[in-house]
Structure 1
C-alpha cells in the first residue's frame, strides 16, 4: 500500500525522494536493512530539518532519521513511513586550528572528515570505516581505531545544534542545556541518529 503524501513545503522543494525517483533505490535502505519508505527527505540545513520534521509529522506515518545508515538495528529507515536523511548536511569546517576546534555536520561520513582535517594536521577519533555517518557514530559513543589512545568520539563533542521532537532548534554546550549535551553524547538508547 502506497501512502498518500501531502505537498512538500517550499523549503523542501527538490529535497523529497519517493518510489519511482531514480535516487530512491540508493536511499530507501540502510547498510543492514532493506526498506521501502513512502518518502525520503534530504534537508541541507538545520532550518530544512525543522521543515522536514514538520512535514513528516503531517503525514502521520512512521519516522526515521538517518546519518549514515550503518546502525545494526535498522532504525534509520522504515516501511511506508518518512525518512529524514541527513547526508546533504556533510560540511566539515576547521573553526580554530590552534584550539583544535572543528564543526562537523551530522550527515558527513568519516572519510570526508579525515580528508578535510588531514591538511590541518587534525583527526577525530572515529569509526572503523570511512563510510560510517558522523551523527550516528558520535551520538552512539564512537568506538573506532583511535579509541584506545584518544577516547570515544563522544568524548570530544563540545557543543551541538539539535532539532528537538517539537521542531525547535537549540544549541547545547556545557553552559547551555548541559543535560541535552549529555544525552547527545550517547547518554542512552534512543538518543542516536542512525
Structure 2
C-alpha cells in the first residue's frame, strides 16, 4: 500500500495472527501511524527481530499487554529504551498457565514501569519487584496461580490470604493493599 496510512487516528491496537516476515510490520505501518499507538495488546509470540523492529516504531507506547510467552521471547535490550511505557499487563493463557515471569531480567527491561499486573509464583519475587521498581511504581497486581482442583478447600484459601496479608503489612514502603481471589493489589505512594 502506497501513501498515507488509512487509519491515522488509531491509538489502541490489538494484534493477532502469525508474523512470519518483516513485511507484516510494513503492512501494519501502511494501515496506521505507528507513532500514534499508545496502547498495544499482543498475545502471540513474534520472532524477536521482527517484534523489535515493530516495537521501536511505537515511540509513544504507554500501555502494553502481552503473555508470559511473548515476554520470554524478548530480550532485556529490546524494551529498555521505552521510557514512555507506563503500564504493563502480563497475562497467562491456558497454554502457558503456571508459567511465571523471571523477575530479575524483567526489572532490567522495565525499570520505569508505573502500573504493573503480573503473574507471580512467590512472595520473594513480589518483594524483589517492589524493591527494584519502587522509584516509579504506583500500582501493582500480583496474580498467584489458583489451583482449580482445590476450589472447595476454604482452609487453604484462608491460610493463603493470611500469608498475603501478613506480607503486605510488612512492606516498608507506604502503601495500601487489597486481597481478592488470592491475588494482591498494591497501591504505592
Place the TM-score, normalised by the shorter chain, in its bin: under 0.3
More helix by proportion, 1 or 2?
2
Which one has the bigger strand percentage? 2
The higher radius of gyration belongs to 2
| Higher RCO (Cα < 8 Å, 6 or more apart) | 1
TM-score, with structure 1 as normaliser: 0.25
Could you tell me the TM-score, scaled by structure 2's length?
A: 0.25
